[in-house]
Chains A and B, each alone.
Chain A
Amino acid sequence: MPTLTTQYVYFGASGSHTRQPRSTTTYGGFLPIPGLNPSGASTLTPGTSFQANPQALTETAAGVTYQFAFTNVSGCTEGPQVSFVAGTPPPAGTVGSSPINVLVVYVPEGGGNGGPSGAVIDAFNESTGSLVNNNFVTVSPDPGGTLTSEANVDGWVDTSDSGYTITADHPNIGPYLALPTNEVFDQWVDLTNASPPSTLVNGTDLTPGKGETVYALAFYKNPTFKKLYTKDLKEIKEELREVLKPTLADTPLKTITAEQPWKGPKENVEVPGYGNLGGPVEFIAAELQALNQRISSLEASLKGASKGTAFIKAEDRPAVGKAAKKPDKSR
């Protein structure tokens, strides 16, 4: 049974925080808010609907007040969902086989403690509900590359003397050690302002001005693979037997000749020209003849000139064409 875990964490108590290697690995790289986190995890039933609870706009723990930033729910079959409104949880999702992780992120009030101004930044994977250590930004201007390095290692860009443009790696996150780089950039999130001005956040650019302090996460998602069809041919046939009961006649047609308005497969090859009623087999059969003739002429014009070869050696290639075709047992 999939487990349900809820974590209350905060981000950005101080400016510079080591990302590479990350000094804290618990709670997905965030710091837990004392006293709020339940112990253990409950279980959920696969196939049921799940929605996180609304959250409080502020939380106080150990004398520190924390402002709500966002709630992220990961693990549902629909993919990750996020809400930036405390009283409105992310949309409901369906429990699958993966654990459900509810991550509620806050920002401590008065963060920075009077230190230099700057951008406190990190990369957040919505699909896993955790911070990730990959290189993820480029800072400009940065002739020596030191600001970019500091941004990626320490999650910090000092704006005391100048404003900067911090560009998130896109479409994919950058490399670090052997970490995967297939996560795709989604958005910059200003943790203290759910609707930041375009002068601060514009697409992949975060642009804090001189003397400005910002707490921001670059949101990334694991890629989703959209299948054109989620069922194989056999499943489709079974389903269509119900949808198209009067339409399907699952018996072979014995006589396929020109006596009917259709040409048979044999005639399609042997009798040139159109005249059939459409469809890929007929289309290919008629054009193939003309194409082969034209190709023969072109090939003859080469007059024995050397021909090209594939760059990949034969032994290193996957099977293609007829060699890759599996026998269709459903027919």
Chain B
Amino acid sequence: MILVLSNVANDAAKELVGMFPPGAASLVTASNLNRSFTAGISVGDFSPSEISVGGTRTCAGEIGGVVSTIPHFLPQEFYYIEPADRDYVCAEVSAFFIYFLSELRCRKVNSPSTRALSGLGMQRIEWAGTAARCGVPVQPFRVKNGMPAAEDARELRYLKSTIIDGAIVGDRAPDAVCGYMRSLTRAFEMPYLSCLFAGSGGDDYALVELTDVPDVAIPANREAIVRFLRQPP
């Protein structure tokens, strides 16, 4: 089974589920957890932990892949909980899912961290440091608000590039950008990264933005994710 974590408003996540064979993938959102998700966790030996998603019973070891399209659950998604308890329930459920996803031994797009359900949840100043250290030029930015520091920002050309499982998705990017993307995906150990680069001409691109939560609204991303998860182990 493939688990797709999202929110109830993300129609692209539903489309992603539909790209797998019937019954092979299930959508999990905070808004339907009360009706469609149960888990009996075996802490000592996680793999046989029993879960039920949308009426389908399985065990944790049978989950073959995870796509998390959200970094966090939001308290308002727990509309079936008394308002005064929603913050707390949201925090508890998030903690459980970070644990649950961390324990799964399958392909994840992307793996959770202590900060997020998907990806490392880094602030700009954190990923900028790592990027600079692995040789990726970083576009100058302001510490206090993250906006571009260059006064001629409007003159820059922007290029968005996404990498999934080591392959650049969509239009061909300049070789330099492809190299940067591969360095970044290795450095952060995340199969999915989407980056925005800025350049003033030629191939002198610099990193402006980095996102490690999969954007499944883009059809090419969905197709690449499905290919990645359907590969034999």
Contact = CB atoms under 8 A, between A and B. Distances in A.
A158 B92 CA distance: 48
B172 interface: no
A247 B145 contact: no
A270 interface: no
Given A294-B9, A310-B89, A279 B149 contact: no
B156 to A, nearest CB: 8
B9 A287 contact: yes
Contact of A277 (B82, B129, B143, B158): B158
A240 B138 CA distance: 12
Contacts of B143: 237, 248-250
Nearest to A241: B143
A302 B158 CA distance: 46
A247 B139 contact: yes
B8 A298 contact: yes
B56 interface: no
A62 interface: no
B210 to A, nearest CB: 8
Contact of B90 (A283, A298, A321): A321
Interface string B54-72: 0000000000000000010
Contact of B211 (A246, A279, A288): A279
Interface stretch (A22-30, A66-74, A78-86, A312-320): A312-320
A280 B124 CA distance: 10
Given A253-B147, A279-B146, A307 B82 contact: yes
Contacts of B9: 287, 290-291, 293-295
Given A237-B125, A240-B125, A278-B194, A321 B8 contact: no
Interface string B136-167: 00111111111111000110101010000000
A277 B8 CA distance: 24
B211 A283 contact: yes
Contacts of B156: 261
Nearest 3 A-B pairs (CB), nearest first? A249-B149, A320-B91, A321-B87
Interface of B: 7-10, 31, 34, 44, 71, 74-77, 79-82, 84-85, 87-92, 113-115, 120, 123-126, 128-129, 132-133, 138-149, 153-154, 156, 158, 160, 194, 196, 208-209, 211, 213
